[in-house]
Structure 1
Amino acid sequence: MDDRSGHLAFTLDLTLEEARRRAEVIAALGPDWDPVAALRAEEAARDLLYSGLDADQERTYAMLVEAGVLPGRDTGDAAAH
């Protein structure tokens, strides 16, 4: 096909740049970063955030989980994921 628009088609592979970016993020986190501890802290914060809800708040929470707006509470059953 003859393209007379003057535009040049090209592709750019960002795989190497993405790998470099990820390596820089991990390096910036430092050697003391503990991903397991960070995940546990996030889960504890989420549990605290949604604890003590009254009945109306529980219904609203359940509605938002059902709609996919909020993640459900993890029951610890890996098969459920």
Structure 2
Amino acid sequence: MGHETGHPHIVFEMDLTLHETRRRAEVVAALGPGWDPVAVMRGEEEAYDLLYSGLDREQRQTYEMLVSAGVLPPRGADRAAD
């Protein structure tokens, strides 16, 4: 293909798999042995529950509009904002 125009193309490929694996290992090491991903996720869910609890009527309508528009993820019936 590149030879048709008289300019050869040079294929340059770089496999970043090793770099990405090393980067992820460094992130996990930096988090330390006390990092508990399940506890972090549980804490995030608790924060969302608190954030969307106690909404007044207008706030609830806005919340539902944002969920319908796909801006916010739907929360299960047992987790819906009251």
Please confirm whether the aligned pair reaches a TM-score higher than 0.5, indicating the same fold: yes
Q: Distance in 1 between matches of 2:44 and 2:58?
A: 25
- Structure whose residues are more often helix by fraction: 2
**Unpaired runs of 5+ in structure 2?**
none
**Per-residue deviation, 1:37:** 0.8
Runs of 4+ in 1 over 3 A off after TM superposition: 3-7
Q: Distance in 2 between matches of 1:60 and 1:30?
A: 40
**SS at 1:52 equivalent:** coil
**Alignment correspondent of 1:57:** 59
**Unpaired runs of 5+ in structure 1?**
77-81
- CA spacing shift, 1:75–1:12, aligned 2, 3 Å: farther
**SS at 1:61 equivalent:** helix
* Counterpart residue type for residue 48 of structure 2: R
Give the alignment's TM-score, normalised by structure 2: 0.79
**SS at 1:32 equivalent:** coil
Q: Which has the higher contact order (CA 8 A, sep 6+)?
A: 2
RMSD of the TM alignment (CA)? 1.8
Instruction: Give the fraction of aligned pairs with identical amino acids, expressed as a percent.
Output: 63
**Alignment size in residue pairs:** 76
Instruction: Specify which of 8, 11, 22 is matched with residue 10 of structure 2.
Output: 8
Structure ID, larger Rg: 2
